[in-house]
Structure 1
Amino acid sequence: MRLSFLEPLYQQPGPFASVYLDTSRDAAVDDPDAAIELRRRHLRDALTAEGADRDSITAVADTVGGDTDVPGTHGQAVFTAHGHLALADELPAPPARDTAHFGTLPDTMPLIVQHAPGIPYLAVYVHYTGRHATDAVGTVRIDAEAGTWPLTRVTPGHRLHEQIPVTDWLNAAAEVGRELEGHARRIDVETVVVAGDVWARGILVRRLPVSLRGQTVTVAGVDASQPGRALLEGQLDDLFRGRMAARDRALLGAFLAARAHGGTAAEGLAAAVSALQRGRVRALFLNNHPESPLRLWIGPEPGQLALTEDELRAYGIREVSEERADAALARALVGTGAELVVVPERELRLREGVGVLLRYGEPASGA
């Protein structure tokens, strides 16, 4: 996963107030606005206790809960600095618990993890309820959405809509397929998910361009998603749950191969820090442990991180502070252009929850 979406945040000076909260508006909550207001007050108190300045707290309060146009279950991440909103992003799922942090670095890892697995996809729903014959009276309707899972849960992707007489469907399906191929190429999709009437969607699937057929999966069920949510959200959740994006899996394969041959891969926090200090990391692999007590020392620049304060000061860095290890790693990854791969522990348990694949041919220390 590339983290370029965080670059504007790290270009601003800290300290930062970082807030995560549940802003769901669904049938399970009687008065969601009242619930969000209560959470807002608790988070304000937590930021005050952590020493946040009044202006930053006010900026958080002015932003939290402002996502009234996002329906259903979701959350919100808000980052402010010096009284200004630095970044606000919708979370595809509510955080496990509401949190507030004030410190030198923004607490971005929970947001990053919610962007995973980051699978580019094309969802297609074929509406038709008439007689299964090309001389029938009626219309085939096609809704399609190109997006990245799971972000399209709360940030819908580009949609297209077509209506075609059933009498024209055999010929028109090929044209629709070419149009879908154009949308797929724009985001380099790895999966095309097709649902809807079995007869009508079967004609479409058989007429899709060859480039899409090998990526196409048909699923059962109707589109029960709400307006403003991902097309075929329920089916996509079933299909993609626990899955890694193809690019991430390829990077993981390269890491395992390099590790097996004593090459450009290493595990453990010390090895990761050493490689990030030198800007050598191609990809960092992480078992998500939000409760981890590991901490690092940092300086003002992304590559200025170390296991101890003395090590940083030995480099002549004067402004140092101790931060959560995942926050320091996230800043270093963004600053050096490295990728992050969130690895489920059932796939691979990493030493101290972290591993690195280097950019160049030199073996990694700690391999």
Structure 2
Amino acid sequence: MELAFLKPLFARPGPWASVYIETTRATEDAAKIQQLRDRSIAGQLIDAGADGYTTRAVMERLAHEPVAGTPPGRALFAAGAEVVLDVPLVLAPPAGEATWSLLPHVSPLAALRGDAPACLVAYVDRMGADLELREGHDRTTVSEARGKEWQGRGHRGVPTDRYEWHYRNKVENSWNETADIIVAEIVRQWPMSGAELLVLAGDARERRAVHNRLPERVRDATVEAESGGRSPGSAMAALDHEIERACETYARDRLHRTLERFHRGRGKPGEHREASVDTGPGEAAEGIPAVVDAARNHQVATLLLTPEAADAGRQVWIGPGVDEVAVQRGEARAMGVPRPEQARADDALLRAAAAADCDVLVVPEGMRGPAGGLGAVLRWSM
């Protein structure tokens, strides 16, 4: 999960109301269930000590929850009588949860928001291409690449007289120029979109020509879809399924590569923890002391979390700065924090990771992740 969208939460002080709810409406008594859910959320916030203004802001947002197009779940984060962030969830939370804490309780997002990559889709034909960005449930039209006009476009047949070779050559040159225009627009939009995966859909010959012209850094993150196209109604359901499978494959491969790097970097079991006491972390950090130290030094490239991690809920000491996090209170004071306060380790680490533009991956049950459930792959070793 990319963390940039969380930065608005850490740009203002707390305390924070953090709410995770299921929003599906598949049953006949959905209205009654929603009423009971909202009452439970309000009760949890009040019992936790939330102020009335912030609680009211949360309840007003829930009361105006849209009926159409509702995702399986939502996460709301509110402070100072304002809902600052409302996040659609790919998975529904197992139960409605509301907390009131110094930092926003963002750690459940890693599992509930999903780890599907942002995907740039190019619908290609001889006329050009339409570019669309897909992020979870959201689809945004990005731009259009218009191909070069050529005389005779739209003719169903090809002349059979002595000018046929010139005609074919002109058509081919025109398409080559159009493919170059499409590639230039993809390359222009790629870094701005934040996409990690490019999907080329449309006519087989045209998408192959675009694929071959892409620079290596983009081509390595590109797949071709057999379904869908630029014209309306062109097998879009089948294309959606292909894109979903491509995103799942990408996410699975990314997690495997990251875990391999993590296990190589931490060395033998127990070796890293002992080494980190005197010499600092190597290419991976494992356990709260080592990960906190790496986060404080802006060293974390990817934060690894295991669901229900034993170390996630442990308390650490923080200051107002996003990288002011320490295992011991005295350590925080030595960093210059006059009044350290306690927060959950996972939320404090995610605050630091978001500020440093890190990524976070969830290690599912059954896979060998970091001991205690918290680990990191580092940008550089010490």
Classify the TM-score, shorter chain: 0.7 to 0.9
Which residue identity is paired with 1:56? T
Contact map agreement 1:144 1:161 (CA 8 A) in 2 = yes
CA distance in structure 1 between the aligned counterparts of 2:155 and 2:73, rounded to whole angstroms: 42
SS of the aligned residue for 1:237 comes to helix
Structure 1 residue runs of 5 or longer lacking an equivalent are 128-139, 226-231, 363-367
Q: Does 1:281 align with 2:299?
A: yes
1:332 to 340, 352, 360: 352
Contact map agreement 2:111 2:362 (CA 8 A) in 1 = yes
1:296 to 315, 320, 340: 315
Give the CA deviation at 1:236. 2.5
Q: Specify the structure having the higher radius of gyration (Cα).
A: 2
Give the CA deviation at 1:56. 0.7
Cα-to-partner distance string for 1:260-281 (whole Å, 9 max, x where unaligned): 598332211221112223x242
SS of the aligned residue for 2:136 comes to helix
Q: Does 1:9 align with 2:13?
A: no
* Residues 67 and 203 of structure 1, relative CA distance in 2, 3 Å threshold: farther
- Corresponding residue of 1:136: none
Q: Which runs of 4+ in 1 moved over 6 A?
A: 140-143, 160-164, 170-173, 245-250
CA distance in structure 1 between the aligned counterparts of 2:368 and 2:251, rounded to whole angstroms: 12
CA distance in structure 1 between the aligned counterparts of 2:72 and 2:130, rounded to whole angstroms: 23
Cα-to-partner distance string for 1:268-300 (whole Å, 9 max, x where unaligned): 1221112223x2423243133246463122232
CA distance in structure 2 between the aligned counterparts of 1:208 and 1:283, rounded to whole angstroms: 32
1:157 to 140, 162, 166: 140
- Corresponding residue of 1:236: 243
Which residue identity is paired with 2:348? A
User: What is the correspondence of 1:127-166 to structure 2 with a 5 Å cutoff?
Assistant: 145-148=131-134, 151-153=135-137, 155-158=138-141
TM-score by length of 1: 0.73
Cα-to-partner distance string for 1:136-184 (whole Å, 9 max, x where unaligned): xxxx999855325xx332x21225689995849x868767655653453
User: What is the correspondence of 1:176-191 to structure 2 with a 5 Å cutoff?
Assistant: 177-178=179-180, 180-182=182-184, 184-185=186-187, 186-188=189-191, 189-191=195-197
Structure 2 residue runs of 5 or longer lacking an equivalent are 147-152, 158-170, 229-234, 273-281
Q: State how many pairs are aligned.
A: 333
User: What is the correspondence of 1:11-50 to structure 2 with a 5 Å cutoff?
Assistant: 11-24=11-24, 28-30=26-28, 32=30, 34-50=32-48
Structure 1 or 2: more helix by fraction: 2
Which residue identity is paired with 1:184? I
Give the CA deviation at 1:250. 6.3
Give the CA deviation at 1:103. 0.7
Which residue identity is paired with 2:251? M
Give the CA deviation at 1:210. 1.3
Contact map agreement 2:129 2:182 (CA 8 A) in 1 = no
Contact map agreement 1:51 1:102 (CA 8 A) in 2 = yes
TM-score by length of 2: 0.71
